[in-house]
Structure 1
Amino acid sequence: MLELLREDPAIWDLFTRKEEYAPGLRDEFDRFPYYLSSHRNIFKPCVSEYLHDRGYRVEYPDGQPFAICLTHDIDSIYRPSLFKGYDALQSLKVGNLRKGIDSISQIRSKKLPWCNFQEIMALEEQYDATSSFYFLALAPGDKDYRYDIRDLETDIGTIADAGWEVGLHGGHQAYCDLQQLQAEKKRLEKVLNRPVIGYRNHYLRFRVPETWKHLAEAGFRYDTTLGYPDCVGFRNGMCHPFRPYDLTAGREIDIMEIPLTIMDTTLDRYMRLDPGRAWEVTRCLIDATERCGGVATILWHNTFMGGERLKLYEKALRYCGEKGAWMTSGVEIQASIGERQLL
């Protein structure tokens, strides 16, 4: 299949992310954003369509036509008590005494509603789905250190024992610092008491091809960071998992990339879409993935599981379920596709 891609220089350059090897500019988080890319047709999986037209197919369990990789980045688990105080005041103001008392009782509680992993799993189970939870494993003093992974040993064990995946959400420096990456991986594995093979970096910080090489050396089997923070879609034209190609070394990197397609904060904060428009874009990307028999990766933070944001996530689950998609975790995608079917 690589030889097929090389036959079309534009397709090859998009697939390998050639323009990211020497970018003139990067954003404040050292990311290559969509607004700097020369490839503008982001909602079209050009490379996957090119391969599909030439006979490339991936087989999924039970003959399912395409797959959805469901994922959650756990950036925060403790909702600031300020918000609960506000909730309590608002509830009491409108006469909802029960809710007001409940909010007051939670102000002193360490675990507040964002520690909602079992609720997320219960929702997904209704649609015969599983997912991946990527946890930060930072040390005190690290940027964005918001919780100690050791405090979540019981929660993490519950997630893993139920058949959902626990992966690493690498910190701010993990994407470019192998030692930091290894330290965080070891910290999470000590709590989980089993190997960690799945990864996504915090803030989608990523460098092509260096981050892939660090991840492979650290022992990860797959990554799912490759998506733009400022626009949903297909960053390298792929809606299929693939093995990255290092243009500098002239060889493949021993890791699977499951590219990120849709992120909640991208729809909400970067693109500033209202719920109706956000759903239209989400449906468009799911349909494009279905046509290629590919994998669409959805990232929905645990902090977005409420109100209109939760409704949008559940709408995506229902829509994909009606289409017969395999909705599962990154580790199951990695195991199912494996070496035999991997591009």
Structure 2
Amino acid sequence: MNQDYLELIKSHPELWDHFTRKEEYSSEFRDRFDRFPYYLSKTRNIFEPNVSEFLFKSGYTPKYPDGKKFAVCLTHDIDSVYRKFPAKCYHIAKSTYKKDKTEFSKNIKTIFNKKQPLCNFEEIMDLEEKYGAKSSFYFLALKPGDQDYTYDIMDLKDEIRNIKDRGWEVGLHGGHEAYNSYEKICEEKKRLEDALGSKVIGYRNHFLHFKTPDTWEHLARAGFKYDTTFGYADCVGFRNGMCHPFRPYNLNTNEFINITEIPLAVMDCTILHSYMKLNYDTAMNLAKRMIDKVAELNGVFTLLWHNTYLQSGTPELRFYEKILNYCQQNDAWITDGKSIQSTYENKLLDSVKI
């Protein structure tokens, strides 16, 4: 991000304060997960990427491979890969009641394979491949005793290396404490890299834990090239008015932070379940509205869909595929965080001129 870009936003104080999230630096209150929630923000036009729109109208027109109109960054947080025994029994009974022999056979096999069916990475990649897409999978790399330790990343060594070999991305899903600890981030990064056999450059924190600007500084210092945590858990939208990846700015040091933020727009449990709880038709209409706006501004629409919501036959899976279909029909480049970061770092961040 060059000086022209900085000065362009800085010349409009209200936009600058929103872009840098100035109000988060001195917030007296945070939620029970130590997050700054949307309901505390003074900026209420969450569905409008007003900073990006200002830049676009000022001449910022990013371009994407193959002449695509805009980009979609597909991401998955892998919180769980095991199904507990009572849940396995429930699904066996359900398929028996439905007299579905195929489903019954599949569920019986899960008794002996603790990873299935939540270890569904192949199915997810196969689905995305149908739409010419690929995605990022962010894995926890916790140790026993850590909060939400649900699997050992070394047990998934073959699975995550297969994801990488197919051309999809593996990144780190930082634990509950990592967002505020350089040491934790480094520890978990090394654990994942040991299992993967290569470096990781992409990051999202568990539960969308984030502290402005500290988390960015920790991640940059730890060697990550991009983060994609920056969105609200309690509402979909554009947290700092940006639907374009950007270089964060630290108001304490008056310097850019050496990392690219790919801002999160929509998370599955935010729009459907835990927070907004919209019905599927309303949620799809909102998602389309946001996608259309991002497309208009040649931006990036970042989607987070957990693997637990991508099981065969679920309404969440059908919703996800509808989004893929809509984005494909609207000429989107549908890809992973690594590809987005590389494109912006190499070609786009310095393209704004006053």
TM bin, normalised by shorter chain, reads over 0.9
Between the aligned partners of 1:230 and 1:153, the Cα distance in structure 2 is 33
Q: Determine which of 42, 47, 60 is the counterpart of 1:43.
A: 47
Aligned equivalent of 1:68: 72
* CA drift at 1:268: 1.4
The DSSP-based 3-state class of the residue aligned with 1:298 is: strand
In structure 2, distance between residues paired with 1:218 and 1:168: 12
RMSD of aligned C-alpha atoms? 1.1
2:289 to 284, 292, 308: 284
Mapped contact 1:84–1:106 kept (Cα < 8 A): yes
- SS for the counterpart of 2:265 is strand
Alignment-derived partner of residue 103 in structure 2? 99
1:239 aligns with 2:246: no
Q: Which amino acid aligns with 1:71?
A: T
1:190 aligns with 2:197: no
Letter of the structure 2 residue corresponding to residue 251 of structure 1 = E
One-letter amino acid of the structure 1 residue matched with residue 318 of structure 2: K
Shift in Å at residue 78 of structure 1? 0.5
The equivalent residue for 1:199 is 203
Q: 1 CA distance for matches of 2:110 and 2:195?
A: 26
Measured at CA, do residues 111 and 22 of structure 1 come closer, stay the same or move farther in structure 2, by a change above 3 Å?
same
Rounded to whole Å, the distance in 1 between the matches of 2:179 and 2:28 is 19
Q: When the two structures are superposed, what TM-score results if normalisation uses the length of structure 2? A: 0.95
Which of 319, 344, 353 is 1:312 aligned to?
319
Moved over 4 A (4+): none
Counterpart of 2:184, as a letter, is Q
Could you tell me how far apart the structure 1 residues matched to 2:72 and 2:102 are?
39
Q: Which shifted more, 53-62 or 203-212?
A: 53-62
Conserved 8 A contact 1:73-1:135: yes
For residues 69-120 of structure 1, what are the alpha-carbon distances to aligned partners after superposition, in whole Å with 9 as ceiling and x for unaligned?
A: 0000000000122111011122223433553354234224211111000000
- Residues 228-267 of structure 1 aligned to structure 2 (within 5 Å): 228-267=232-271
Q: Deviations over 1:196-241 (max 9, x none)?
A: 1000000000000000000000000000000000100000000000
Aligned residues: 343
CA change 1:177–1:236 in 2 (3 A) is same
Query: 1:84 pairs with 70, 84, 88, which one?
Result: 88
Q: Aligned partners of 1:249 and 1:166: how far apart in 2?
A: 32
- Find the aligned partners of 2:98 and 2:143 in 1 and give their Cα distance: 42
Task: Verify the 8 A CA contact 1:81 1:108 in the aligned structure 2.
Answer: no
> Is contact 1:132–1:330 with CA below 8 Å preserved after alignment?
yes
- Could you tell me how far apart the structure 1 residues matched to 2:249 and 2:94 are? 54
Q: Secondary structure at the match of 2:178?
A: coil
The share of aligned pairs that are identical, in percent, is 55
Residue aligning to 1:328: 335
1:235 is paired with a residue of what secondary structure? coil
- Letter aligned with residue 268 of structure 2: D
Structure 2 residue matching 1:147: 3-state secondary structure: coil
> Structure 1 counterpart of 2:320, which letter?
Y
Q: What amino acid maps onto 1:129 in structure 2?
A: A
> TM-score, structure 1 length as denominator?
0.98
1:133-152 equivalence runs, <5 A: 133-152=137-156
Find the aligned partners of 1:138 and 1:47 in 2 and give their Cα distance: 36
Rounded to whole Å, the distance in 1 between the matches of 2:68 and 2:205 is 29
Q: Note if contact 1:117-1:302 (Cα within 8 Å) is conserved in structure 2.
A: yes
Equivalent of 2:131 in 124, 127, 133: 127
Q: For residues 42-67 of structure 1, what are the alpha-carbon distances to aligned partners after superposition, in whole Å with 9 as ceiling and x for unaligned?
A: 00000000000000121211111100
The one-letter amino acid of 1:281's match is L
Distance 1:255 1:330 in 2: 13
Long gaps (5+) in structure 1: none
CA 1:65–1:98: 2 relative to 1, 3 Å: closer
Gaps of 5+ in 2: none
Aligned-partner residue type, residue 76 of structure 1: S
Task: Report the CA distance between 1:309 and its aligned residue.
Answer: 0.5
* Larger deviation, residues 99-108 vs 154-163: 99-108
Instruction: Give the aligned residue type for 1:320.
Output: C
